[in-house]
């Protein structure tokens, strides 16, 4: 799970992108995503891939973690690229470029924006209870990951895992997942009681105060709009 590393980058990073307003970064990510989806020109797609790479380097996030996560969509895009390569190598390259560009674009967003800010932006378009589910999911993920790690270690130490006995392993793993689900249920009840004491009525208040944009926000938005416009212009290249 790389979510912990991403969370660390988003909360502890210090760069012009970390300091930009979340609304700017979300708008920029969506504009780049639209640019990538609409382009069918390899040179434009390569430029759109180079932009998030440059921004990732400039934002001084952990490049190794980002590359590790970007490898996943890249591998899946290779499957489709292999199909397209039968038509032309450019088409294959285009599929991979678009997939990698879109993934890096999203990774750049999540690595420079704390999740509470991101869910705060989502709350403009999604109902409150759904945002609450997002927050509870994210919050409990790290706690449960720790529990699972300890539980799997205990199973191995007590001889509950055998390299050859698949059914035996499956039964013990299912038992461990069952125990963890019960832990999770107890945890959710405790969470509900704690939140209820604090006045929870089905909507966690997230900061949605409008903050004035900074020069860096203006620059990023203008840059994204220029890129999107550039995608629609039929350059003679």
Partner 1 sequence: MSHIHLPDGVIPPFWWITGLILCLALLWIFAGRIKKDEVRRKIPFAGVIGALMLIFMSVPLGILPVHLNLAVLCGILAGPGLGFVAVFAVNTILALIGHGGFTVIGLNTLLMGGEAILGYYIFRAASGRLGSASSAVTANILALLLSTVLMILIVGTSVGLGEALLPHDHTHESVHAGEDHIDDRENNSESHSGEIKDARFLFLTGWTAVIAVILAGILLESLVTGLIVSFFSKVRPDLLKPAAEG
The one among 16, 47, 134, 216 contacting partner 1 by CB under 8 A: 134
94 within 8 A of 42, measured Cβ to Cβ: yes
Give, as ranges, the residues between 52 and 71 that touch partner 1 (CB under 8 A): 69-70
Q: How many residues in total does the chain contain?
A: 237
Encoded tokens for 215? 């020069």
**Phi/psi at 202 (nearest 5 deg)?**
95, 15
Q: Is 51 helix (H, G, I), strand (E, B) or coil?
A: helix
Measured from the CB of residue 212, what is the shortest distance to partner 1 in angstroms? 27
* CA dist list (Å): 152 to 143, 174, 175, 181, 209: 15, 11, 11, 14, 44
- Toward partner 1, which CB reaches closer, 2 or 8? 2
* Cβ-based nearer residue to partner 1, 72 or 218: 72
Report the alpha-carbon distance of residue 8 to residue 78 in Å, rounded.
30
Nearer to partner 1, 42 or 216 (CB): 42
Contact stretch for partner 1 (CB under 8 A) within 153-161, 176-184, 205-213, 221-229: 176-184
- Asked if 23 interacts with partner 1 (CB under 8 A), we say no
Closest contact distance (angstroms) between CB of 55 and partner 1 is: 15
Considering only residues 146 through 175, tell me which ones interact with partner 1, judged by CB under 8 A.
148, 170-171, 173-175
Identify the residue among 13, 18, 51, 132 touching partner 1 (CB under 8 A).
132
Q: Tokens at residue 226, please? A: 């220029």
User: Which stretch in 16-24, 124-132, 205-213, 222-230 sits in contact with partner 1 by CB under 8 A?
Assistant: 124-132
What is the maximum span of the chain, computed from C-alpha positions, in angstroms?
68
Distance CA 5, CA 13 (A): 11
Q: Does 110 participate in binding partner 1 (rule CB under 8 A)?
A: yes
The answer to whether residue 76 forms part of the interface with partner 1 (CB under 8 A) is yes
Q: From the centroid of its chain, how far is CA 73? A: 12
Q: Token digits for 18?
A: 């970390």
CB 36 within 8 A of CB 98: yes
**Binding residues for partner 1 restricted to 25-44, rule: CB under 8 A:** 33, 36-37, 40-42
Q: Within 201-230, which residues bind partner 1 (CB under 8 A)?
A: 201-202
Residue 220 CB, nearest distance to partner 1 (Å)? 19
């Amino acid at each position: 799970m790389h979510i912990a590393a991403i969370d660390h980058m988003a909360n502890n990073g210090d760069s012009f992108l970390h300091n930009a307003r979340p609304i700017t970064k979300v708008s920029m990510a969506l504009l780049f995503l639209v640019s990538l989806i609409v382009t069918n020109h390899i040179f434009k797609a390569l430029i759109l891939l180079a932009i998030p790479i440059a921004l990732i380097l400039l934002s001084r996030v952990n490049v190794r973690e980002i590359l590790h996560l970007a490898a996943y969509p890249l591998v899946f895009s290779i499957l489709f690229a292999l199909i397209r390569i039968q038509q032309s190598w450019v088409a294959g390259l285009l599929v991979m470029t678009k997939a990698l560009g879109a993934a890096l674009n999203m990774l750049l967003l999540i690595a420079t924006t704390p999740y509470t800010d991101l869910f705060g932006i989502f709350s403009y378009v999604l109902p409150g209870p759904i945002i609450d589910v997002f927050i509870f999911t994210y919050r409990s993920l790290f706690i449960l990951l720790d529990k699972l790690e300890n539980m799997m270690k205990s199973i191995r130490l007590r001889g509950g895992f055998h390299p050859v006995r698949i059914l035996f392993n499956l039964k013990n793993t299912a038992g461990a997942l069952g125990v963890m689900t019960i832990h999770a249920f107890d945890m959710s009840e405790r969470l509900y009681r704690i939140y209820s004491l604090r006045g929870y009525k089905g909507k966690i208040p997230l900061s949605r105060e409008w903050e004035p944009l900074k020069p860096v926000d203006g620059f990023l938005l203008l840059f994204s709009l220029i890129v999107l416009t550039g995608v629609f212009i039929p350059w003679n290249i």
